[in-house]
Amino acid sequence: MTLARVTRRSFFDATLRAIIGAAFVGRDGLAALAQQASSSGPLIVHSARPQDLETPVNLLTSWITPNDLFYVRSHFYAPTIDEAQWMLQVDGDVATPLTLRLDELMRMRPRTLPVTLECAGNGRGNYQPPVAGVQWRKGAVGTARWTGVPLADVLERAGRRPSGKFVWFDGADIGLGRAPDFIRSLPLDKAIHRDTLLAYEMNGERLPIAHGFPLRVIVPGWEGAYNVKWVNHITVSDREHPGPFVSTSYRVPRWPVTSGASVDAADTVPIRGLVVKSIITSPLHGANLIPGGATMITGFAWGGEYDIRAVEVSIDGGRTWAAARLGQERAPYAWRQFTLPWRPDHPGSRVLLSRATDARGRRQPLAADWNPGGYLWNAVDMVRVNVGEPEPAAPQRATVAPPPDTDAAAGLLKSRCTVCHSTDLIDAQRLDDGGWRRELAKMQGWGAQLSPDERDLLVNHLVQRSK
Ligand code: HEC
């Protein structure tokens, strides 16, 4: 949105031209791909382009997550911003539409809050049957101190009209191909809450580009996608934004549904607050521990808008539970660290579990309800460790070589898919025939070029690869 104010790298233009015309990854595209991939540092790359990066949980060791270790979720490419030209536009149901420069925003009274952000899809990789989307494991979560101005103050300046019931946020990023812009809407009561911020600093530094430079929304305690990055356009409206990132994505069924069911959008509701959850960050799954050695079981627990009341840990697969100690560092909307010292005695395999309860009395379930978007995974966390001699290596299964990429399928992936995103996003999916057909139909809707024959060939190939 407000494209004139955003200078996009020529690569993006080249990419768009490639989509509109035939389709190929130009040399620029490959260079940009390599560059984005190399800027991931120690993070797990789910998608190099657009960037979806997860924090390996062993690096989540402090209450505040350092900027360079913070997970990254992007629907589209990060825009290139010229700060001197940058403006925030505020319009819609307001008395005085505004355009604010960054220095004007930064002169308003600031507020700093530590807030835990979690992607709604964190844990999606656990769902059975598998669900399309980034296959996050445990680390699409982190906590930072965000500094900015209360959105309420900006809306007050513009003079919100009583008809305004929702606030829409659009960032400087633009949709890929025919995919529309990423726009989210927030109900008014949360939008005018003093803790909802337009943030320009993360942990005392200007926002990194991957985290929304120069400005992002922070909606404390709510699901990650409300925290729109690169925000440069705010509209007050009497209704929810009609786009797919509100009407289709980030929604869950009203009632529990059969695993694998397809659910009508009318039977879903938007996700708002985060659910109660805990993760064990140490020891790691598969770790070898010394019998009699001192071990500290550690992790984090959060409950969105609700404080954590207790975390229980089991060292015997859930037969018995002990109260973990909660860390001193705490704040509304921020996670708590928990610890439980343990000296494993007998050699053998152990299953460690963690289970949090929040101030509202919500407790993590033993098994998560399946939902078609693969959102809000919050089952009790489980880590299996081995005490003593490492377990004998499991007998080698005869390795079946993955089917070779047929030249035709490989050619299609390269020419028709990588114009928009890297293939890592495709490789990680675990979909069946029906799932891949739905996925390719969605991609065609967004601009992927495939004839019916090419689609069949690709589906066969992708199903084989997902096995
Ligand atoms: C016109 C651009 C475009 C083309 C061409 C394209 N995709 Fe996508 N694809 C997207 C966008 C946009 C996303 C969603 C990114 C996000 O939300 O994180 C996506 C996401 C995906 C995902 C992740 C699951 C999901 O739905 O978010 C898969 C799998 C995928 N694409 C497969 C393919 C395949 C296979 C092809 C080639 C036939 C292809 N795409 C071509 C734009 C495109």
Cα separation values, 373 from 47, 92, 124, 247, 271, Å: 18, 31, 8, 13, 11
Using the mean position of ligand 1's atoms as its centre, give its distance from the Cα of residue 447 in Å: 10
pLDDT attached to residue 15: 40
- For residues 374-385, average pLDDT: 98
Using the mean position of ligand 1's atoms as its centre, give its distance from the Cα of residue 62 in Å: 34
339 has pLDDT over 90: yes
Average pLDDT, the chain: 90
Atom of ligand 1 nearest to the CA of 448: 5
Domains and CATH numbers, the chain: 3-249 (3.90.420.10), 277-387 (2.60.40.650), 407-466 (1.10.760.10)
State percent of the chain over pLDDT 70: 89
Using the mean position of ligand 1's atoms as its centre, give its distance from the Cα of residue 131 in Å: 14
4 has pLDDT over 90: no
Q: Pocket of ligand 1, candidates 178, 446, 457, 458: which has the most ligand atoms within 8 Å of its Cβ, to mutate?
A: 446
CA pair distance 24, 17, nearest whole angstrom: 10
pLDDT category of residue 397 using cuts at 50, 70 and 90: low
> For atom 41 of ligand 1, which residue has the closest CA?
417
pLDDT category of residue 3 using cuts at 50, 70 and 90: very low
Lowest mean pLDDT among 22-36, 293-307, 401-415: 22-36
- For residues 331-337, average pLDDT: 98
pLDDT attached to residue 30: 39
Residue 188, token pair as written in the block: 């008014």
Cβ within 8 Å of residue 196, ≥6 positions away: 150, 151, 152, 186, 190, 217, 218, 219, 220
Atom of ligand 1 nearest to the CA of 133: 24
Which residue from 206, 211, 350 is spatially nearest to 283, judged by alpha carbons?
350
Residues with C-beta less than 6 Å from any ligand 1 atom: 19, 50, 75, 132-133, 176-177, 179, 416-417, 419-421, 425-426, 429, 439-440, 442-443, 446-448, 450, 458
- For residues 317-330, average pLDDT: 98
How do residues 262-305 score in pLDDT, each as one tens digit? Answer: 999 999 999 999 999 999 999 999 999 999 999 999 999 999 99
**Number of neighbouring beta carbons within 10 Å of residue 92:** 20
pLDDT attached to residue 467: 76
Cβ within 8 Å of residue 234, ≥6 positions away: 88, 89, 90, 91, 92, 151, 154, 167, 168, 169, 170
Which residue from 248, 225, 251 is spatially nearest to 119, judged by alpha carbons?
225
